[in-house]
Structure 1
Amino acid sequence: MKITLDISKLVEEGKLTREEADRLTALAAHDTGSFGVNVLIGFGVVAIAAGAVALVPTPLTAVGLGLALFAAGSAITINRVQQWVLLGQICLVIGALMFGGGVIAYGAGSLASMLIVMGAFGIAAIAARSSLLMALAVLAASACLGARTGYSHAVYSLAIFEPTLTVMLFSALALIAYQASHRLSDDYERLAITAARTSLLLVNFGFWIGSLWGDPLMLIRSMNAKDASLAFMTKTAIPASVFSILWAVVLLGAGIWALQVNRRWLVNLVAVFAGIHFYTQWFERLGATPLSVLLGGLVMLASAVGLWIFNGRARPPGLRAKPSRF
């Protein structure tokens, strides 16, 4: 459970003593340092796993090494060898990533390989209490629907081939994970929240792609239609305007709810994707001209001021902050 406090302001208002403020500041500094170490370890784990899989000559060797590391990490974690707990978690994470990379390479990115990786990452995330692996498990689930990213020179790409299914499935997953977080202990609550947050990112990506190109519902059509021609399978079934309108409604509703219950992360997410949605639709229709850029900036600034005023009125002075779990 985390809350945000303005220590200096509380001391000035006499709501905290200087000693209490110093103690809270010391605790916050320790937490910040721990967070920094965890971020560095996370990046290091990803780099080590990627390099090791690249150096190992065959996918099966990567799978074997991954299983060995995972077994070693599991032994340390299960036996609760306190001084080696961090090493155990690192072995669990690296082992899971190597195993996943080997399985995907061996299966050439097939649906079966992605399902195996999704399950393996989910189990490893619970064993290692790793938010990184839980997020990767959710991303692996999206890959089962064809979601992918790409990079070429100075160009990043995002592909969501089933926007409707992505929105529906990951909305359900986010809701289930969020509800489950209320019934779990602190470590597992964090994993559930990570799954919910990653799912919400994918929901917004699904809306974003759908708002640009619509959805031909290729997967559903391929199961039911006799005509499997490319022209039929790529014909838009749900127009982009439907996604655009629904996305705006969902963002508005989520933003209002997040402000009312003080869900800071969700407020930030809504603000980011509301800006993306606005600028996407604005420039899709008006083009990138000096006037459209100027007007777009003015509208966004006005929206930000309105949100700031609304947020100030929604929380009367002296109201105690609620814990922000989402």
Structure 2
Amino acid sequence: MHVVADTDQLIADGVITQPQADEIRARARDTMVTLAVNTLLCAGIIAATAGFIFWLADALSVAVLGGLMLAGGITILTRGSDNFAMFGNASALIGAGMLIGGAAAELLNKYDDIAGQVMALGGAVVAGVFAWALRSPKFPAKFVAGSALLMGLALHLGGVAIEMMDHQVTGLPKALLLFYAAALVAVAGWLTDVRLVTALAIVPFAQMLDTGTFYFHAAYVFYSPEPTLSILQMSALIALCLWTARRWPPRHGRHALIAMMLAFVVANLCALVGSLWGDVVGQTMWGPGRWSRSEYDDWEDYQAARDAFEAQALVISEHVFSVLWAVVLIALAIWAAHSNRRGLFNAAITFGAIHVYTQFYESFFDEPLAYVIGGLAAIPLAWGMWRLNKWFVATRDTA
């Protein structure tokens, strides 16, 4: 477990010695420097790969240069010294990226009728080969293998996405394919031990119920057509991740916890949507869905179908959503503080502030009595939290 502690205060309290504090600081610094170096290296590799593909703009030239750079990188890694390993990794990955990315660009540009199928199949083969290489003790270039695995996975999922769009896949098949994509990304993150990749699995997982984002000029939009179902979906993932983190080794637990945090963020964003608009549960899943000319003659017919569905569906008003969200955030903040889950605690406090800020303008802008009641209620709540924590500590010490 990663914890935040004041090493100077720990020294003053006699908990650790000065050499121990120096070692903690040195390790923390090394971790940050390694993260910065790897981030810069990966950004440079991605930029150079894309730049070469679009600058050369010729399939043969991209393939030749990519092959030469891949061969040169592997030569450096197998025969060069450790001082030049970074250059070998960069060269090999730029070469592999040019071959894979160049092939995808050529397919999309000239063979778009079969591009999706070839990309899906070819990407699966590339990802499978390098997944085996990554797990094999005989393959020395683990960084190259892991990165090539991710490239192959991106090619495969890109092909699957193209096929989904070409065949206009909707409904349950679409949800299952998105779950498949989320599972593959999560497994790839675990295999490569890169938690950023694991975190990306939340995107297709959330899209199973059409939750997502949109951008237009100077505005970012988060939308969730089924906030209640999405919250239940994310809650199930949170429970699974917490169970995994407690029972599996730390390497697996770290990936489970990052997935848990992203699920918590998405769940709270869905709760924000529900607190503003309420929710007619199932309207877009098994209800009338969205309006389309192919299903409804005019807007009045669609509205009539919506009204009929709403009359027999579970309807949660925005006011009920707001209260329930506030109660859950308070409970989670207390539990996170007691269990020393700083990330979850910070997220709960952040969304609590967002909730208060939103409701200030939506509901209580001109109701000063609401602030009096809320402020006075917070005082005994804080006292109760303090007493509860003392009881937990006493129980733990007795045990």
CA contact (8 A) 1:135 1:195 kept: yes
> 1:309, 1:8 → 2: CA distance?
29
Q: Hey, what does 1:202 align to over in structure 2? A: 266
Name the TM-score, length of structure 1 as normaliser.
0.79
1 CA distance for matches of 2:375 and 2:21? 35
| SS of equivalent residue, structure 1 residue 3 | coil
Letter in 2 for 1:96: L
Q: For residue 222 of structure 1, what is the amino acid of its counterpart? A: G
In the alignment, which residue of structure 2 is the partner of 1:24?
24
Matches within 5 A, 1:11-90: 11-40=11-40, 52=101, 55-56=105-106, 57=108, 58-81=115-138, 83-90=140-147
**Equivalent in 197, 207, 212 of residue 276 of structure 2:** 212
Q: Deviations over 1:152-205 (max 9, x none)?
A: 111111111110101112112101210111111121111111221121112111
Cα pair distance change 1:22/1:305, threshold 3 Å: farther
Distance across 2 between alignment mates of 1:88 and 1:313: 53
Q: C-alpha root-mean-square deviation of aligned residues, in Å?
A: 3.9
Structure 1 position 252, deviation (Å): 0.5
| 1-structure distance, mates of 2:261, 2:34 | 21
- Report the equivalent of 2:302: 230
1:93 equivalent in structure 2:
150
User: What amino acid maps onto 1:36 in structure 2?
Assistant: A
Cα distance, 1:222–1:40 mapped onto 2, change above 3 Å: farther
Matches of 1:153 and 1:179, distance apart in 2 = 41
> Could you tell me which residue of structure 2 aligns to residue 114 of structure 1?
178
Question: Where do 1:169-188 residues align within 5 Å?
Answer: 169-188=233-252
Q: Kindly tell me the number of residue pairs found equivalent between the two proteins.
A: 309
Q: Which amino acid in 2 is paired with 1:178?
A: L
Amino acid at match of 1:149: T
Aligned counterpart for 2:193 among listed residues 129, 138, 143 = 129
d(CA) in 2 for partners of 1:309, 1:23: 38
**3-state SS of paired residue (2:287):** helix
CA–CA distance in 1 between the matches of 2:225 and 2:154? 25
d(CA) in 2 for partners of 1:311, 1:25: 33
Q: 1:179 to 1:301 in 2, by over 3 A?
A: same
* Corresponding residue to 2:319 among 229, 241, 259: 241
Aligned in 2, Cα 1:123/1:44: closer, same or farther, shift over 3 Å? farther
Letter of the 1:189 counterpart: G
CA contact (8 A) 1:11 1:18 kept: yes
* Inter-CA distance 268–160: structure 2 relative to 1 (3 Å threshold): same
Shift of 1:271: 1.1
> Where does structure 1 lack aligned partners over 5 or more consecutive residues?
none
Contact kept, 8 Å, 2:334 with 2:385, in 1: the verdict is: no
Alpha-carbon deviation of 1:131? 2.1
Other structure's SS at 1:15 match: coil
CA deviation map 1:61-112 (0-9, x unaligned) = 4434532441342132121357412222212222222322221122127415
The CA deviation at 1:134 is 2.4
Which residue in the other structure is 2:94 paired with? none
Q: TM-score normalized by structure 2?
A: 0.66
Q: C-alpha separation between the residues in 2 aligned to 1:164 and 1:137? A: 21
Higher relative contact order (CA 8 A, sep 6+): 1
Aligned to 1:278: 356
Whichever of the two has the greater Rg, that structure is 2
Q: Which segment drifts farther, 51-60 or 248-257? A: 51-60
Q: 1:139 aligns to what?
A: 203
Please say which of residues 190-199 and 40-49 is displaced more in the overlay. Answer: 40-49
The question of whether the paired residues in 2 share the 8 Å contact of 1:259 and 1:314 is answered with no
Rate the CA distance shift 1:156–1:113 in 2: closer, same or farther, 3 A. same
Amino acid in structure 2 at the alignment position of 1:24: I
Contact 1:174 1:200 in 2 (8 A): yes
Q: How many angstroms apart in 2 are the aligned matches of 1:143 and 1:185?
A: 30
* Partners of 1:37 and 1:90 in 2: CA distance: 16
Offset at residue 309 of structure 1 (A) = 10
